[in-house]
Amino acid sequence: MAVAESLDELVRDIEDPELPHVTIGDLGIVRSVTIEAGTATVLLTPTYTGCPATEQIRDDVEVAVRSAGFEPDVRLVMSPAWTTDWITERGHERLRSAGIAPPPPASEPGVTFVDPPVACPRCNSRRTRLISHFGGTACKATYVCNACSEPFEFFKAL
Ligand SMILES: [Zn+2]
C-alpha cells in the first residue's frame, strides 16, 4: 500500500507543462493511480479539450511511472468532464504566485470571466480589462491591470 501511495504522490507532483510550479495534482486532473502486477494504471481527466498540454502530461506520467519501476498504463477519462472547480486551494495559490489569476467558481451561476471583473494577481485591483480571449494558450485569457498597468493571464472558469 505504501508503494501505491508514494507512486500516487509522485504522479500528482508532476508539474503542468504550461503552468510552472502548478502540479497536475493541484489541477485535480489525476483521477486515480492503481497498481496491479507491476503495471500502474493512471486515470487522467484532461483539462480544456484541445489543450496541447495533455499529450505532454501523458508522456511525463509515463516517464515518472517507469522511473518508479512500473509499466505505465495511462488512460484518459473524459466523463465527468473536468471543471476548474477541481483545482485545489493550493493550486489557486500557486497560480496566483505565478502571476495568473485563478478561475472563479464555475458552478456559481452568472459568473463568467468578464463579470465580475477579474482581480489583478499582483495588486488585487479589479480595475482590469480584457485584452485577448486567448492568452499563451487556449486555456487562458490575457488581461491588463489599469492600477499597476501590468498584463496578466487569467485561467478561464469552465
Ligand atoms: Zn495590478
Identify whether 89 is part of a domain: no
Mean pLDDT of 111-124: 72
Look up the pTM and report it: 0.77
Residues of the chain with pLDDT > 70, as a percent, come to 87
pLDDT at 62: 97
Give the Å distance between the CA of 128 and the centre of ligand 1.
8
70 pLDDT above the threshold of 80: yes
Q: Considering only 91-95, 123-127, 134-138, which range has the smallest mean pLDDT?
A: 134-138
Which residue range forms the structural domain that includes residue 15?
A: 2-76
Residues with C-beta atoms within 5 A of ion ligand 1 = 120, 122-123, 125, 145, 147-148
pLDDT in tens, 6-56: 999 999 999 998 887 899 999 999 999 999 999 999 999 988 666 678 889
Question: What is the pLDDT, as a whole number, of residue 123?
Answer: 93
Same domain assignment for residues 107 and 67: no
Report if residue 139 sits inside a domain.
Answer: yes
Evaluate whether residue 83 is within a structural domain.
Answer: no
CB-based burial label for 68 (10 Å; 0-12, 13-18, 19+): middle
Q: Give residue-wise pLDDT tens across range 55-66.
A: 899 999 999 999
Residue 84 forms part of a structural domain:
no
Strand bridging mode 151-155 / 100-101: parallel
Q: How far apart are the CA of 27 and the centre of ligand 1, in A?
A: 24
Regarding whether 52 and 16 lie in a shared domain, the answer is yes
Same domain for 72 and 134, yes or no, is no
How are the residues of the chain apportioned to helix, strand and coil, as percentages rounded to the nearest 5? 25, 25, 50
Reduced to 3 states (helix: H, G, I; strand: E, B; else coil), residue 101 is strand
Same-domain check for residues 63 and 7:
yes
Q: Do 46 and 105 lie in a common domain? A: no
In a domain, 29, yes or no: yes
4 Cα to the center of ligand 1, angstroms: 43
Mean pLDDT of the chain: 86
> Quick one: pLDDT at residue 135?
62
Tell whether 129 is covered by a domain.
yes
**Between 106 and 66, whose confidence is greater?**
66
Q: How far is the CA of 143 from the centre of ligand 1 (A)?
A: 10
Say how many Å lie between the CA of residue 127 and the centre of ligand 1: 8
pLDDT for the residue numbered 108: 59
Structural domains in the chain (count):
2
Count CB neighbours of 1 within 10 A: 6
- The enclosing domain of 32 has a CATH number of 3.30.300.130
Query: Is there a single domain that holds both residue 72 and residue 10?
Result: yes
